Amino acid sequence: MKHSFQRAGAAAVAVGVAASMGISSGVSGASAGHVSRASGKLTIALVVGASSDPFFQAMKIGAQQEASKLGVNVIYQGNSTTYSPATQIPVVNQVLATKPSGLAIAPTDPTALQAAVNRAISEGIPVVNVDTHVNSMSKVLSFITGNNTQGGMVAADALAKAMHYKSGSTFQVAVGLSSGTSTTDVARLTGFKQEIAKKYPGVKIVATGYSESNSATANTNINNWLTAYPHLTGIFAIDGTNATGASSAIQAKGLVNKVSLVGYDAYANNVSLIKKGVITALIAQQPTLEGKMAVDDLVHYLRTHNTTGIQKAVQLPNITLTKTTPASTLKKYTYPA
């Protein structure tokens, strides 16, 4: 996901996630919600930034799966390609006009979306923030996000381990980014650099490049690094386009097992490339879990009118997947297709 906004101070790591899920699934049939649809079903609106973003797509799937389990409806909305408050605000307003029972929103701007969130709350529609949040969180039910800085850190650990890092030696690595303006990429790179500075001073980032959200461009960048830096030993592919471009470049140049690749996003194809040894490690986010938790929190509140058991702030860790990860774990974190 390209645009997360790091929440300062929200530190609760999501070990306690299961608790909140347990509670909500324990609430059954009879609607305690204050909004009752004609169908008698609750309707949860999930409004995201760019609805075509794979991260949000996965979040949608998580929300839908949980919704069908709980017997509620989900509306998924967002501008199809543009991550911007200018395009998101009209979408939220239209969604609110349909009077959903609850709103889960990934605000594209903490200030600009505050009014829409306030409006929903004043109309009696409970609000959950996912991925990013608005400025004033006092009336927001909960905030669920991933931690991209931590993801960058574990990526550095995974890459160092794969390159058999030892102090005193130099290791050349390259980082493929999506663009220079993606806040997600920036957070991941920050974590990656912090971890290197702290633990792996022998690792040198010799090149960084942008894919401009195009996997073929990522492939070109990485092809050229592999040619221009014959001593390159590691690549951090910071997003899905770079993971695709890097894995194919390493295969094309016959450098599988010679150049370590740590990538992002646990697509089925990427997971299969772990098994082949092309990708050394994958850092997986948990967008489906975010979507699921958002639905859980809203449905729990709508049915019980009670915030007990809802965690106000949840930060889900990024998970490292490698060849030695048990198959069941791999399967669990693979993004649904």
Partner 1 sequence: MDADHSTGTSVVPPIEGEAAQSMVGEAPVSVTPAGDLSAGAAAPSKRKGLLAALGSQQSILILVLLAMIGGFSIVKPVFFSVGVFGNILVAWAPVALIAIGETFVIISGGIDLSVGSTITLSGVIAGYAMAATTSAGWPSGFSIFIGALVAAGTGLLVGLVNATLINVAKLVPFVATLATLGAGAGVALVLTHGAPVGGGPSNAISLSVPRFGPFSWPAIFVIVVIVIAGFFLHTARFGRYVFAIGGNSFAATAVGISVPRYVTKVYGLSGMFAGLAGMITYLTLASGSPTAGTGDELSAIAAVVIGGASLTGGVGRIGGTVLGSLILTTVTSGLVVVNIDPNWNQVVVAILIAAAVSLQTVRRGIHRRPR
Based on the shown chain and the rule CB under 8 A, indicate whether residue 84 belongs to the binding site for partner 1. no
- Count of beta carbons in the 10 Å neighbourhood of residue 266: 25
Query: Which of residues 221 and 318 has its CB atom nearest to partner 1 in the complex?
Result: 221
What is the per-residue burial (b if ≥16 Cβ within 10 Å, else e) of 236-249? bbbbbbbbbbbbbb
- Count of beta carbons in the 10 Å neighbourhood of residue 94: 12
Can you tell me the distance from the alpha carbon of 282 to that of 258, in angstroms, rounded to the nearest whole number? 17
Site for partner 1 in 132-191 (CB under 8 A): 180
Listed in order, strand segments (DSSP E) in the chain are: 43-50, 73-79, 102-105, 127-130, 142-146, 171-177, 203-210, 232-237, 260-264, 281-284, 313-316, 319-322
Do 100 and 298 contact (CB within 8 A), yes or no?
no
Select the residue interacting with partner 1 from 25, 82, 190, 213 (CB under 8 A). 213
Q: Which two tokens stand for residue 93?
A: 């307003």
Select the residue interacting with partner 1 from 4, 147, 241, 315 (CB under 8 A). 241
Tally of residues, the chain: 337
Based on the shown chain and the rule CB under 8 A, indicate whether residue 65 belongs to the binding site for partner 1. no
Minimum CB separation of residue 168 from partner 1 in Å reads: 26
Minimum CB separation of residue 179 from partner 1 in Å reads: 9
Can you tell me the distance from the alpha carbon of 291 to that of 63, in angstroms, rounded to the nearest whole number? 4
Query: Which of residues 38 and 337 has its CB atom nearest to partner 1 in the complex?
Result: 337
Based on the shown chain and the rule CB under 8 A, indicate whether residue 87 belongs to the binding site for partner 1. no
Site for partner 1 in 92-131 (CB under 8 A): none
98: phi then psi, degrees, rounded to nearest 5? -85, 0
Based on the shown chain and the rule CB under 8 A, indicate whether residue 263 belongs to the binding site for partner 1. no
| Piece in contact with partner 1 (CB under 8 A), picked from 111-119, 193-201, 237-245, 300-308 | 237-245
**Any idea which residue has 């930060």 for tokens?**
315
Do 333 and 166 contact (CB within 8 A), yes or no?
no
Site for partner 1 in 308-337 (CB under 8 A): 335-337
Select the residue interacting with partner 1 from 142, 145, 182, 219 (CB under 8 A). 219
Based on the shown chain and the rule CB under 8 A, indicate whether residue 247 belongs to the binding site for partner 1. yes
Select the residue interacting with partner 1 from 118, 208, 304, 307 (CB under 8 A). 208
Minimum CB separation of residue 215 from partner 1 in Å reads: 4
DSSP codes joined into one string, 288-300? HHHHHHHHHHHHH
Select the residue interacting with partner 1 from 52, 94, 98, 135 (CB under 8 A). 52
Query: Which of residues 110 and 151 has its CB atom nearest to partner 1 in the complex?
Result: 151
Residues lying near partner 1 in the complex (CB under 8 A) are found at 52-55, 57-58, 61, 80-81, 180, 206-217, 219-221, 223-225, 227-228, 240-241, 244-245, 247-248, 251-253, 267-270, 272-273, 335-337
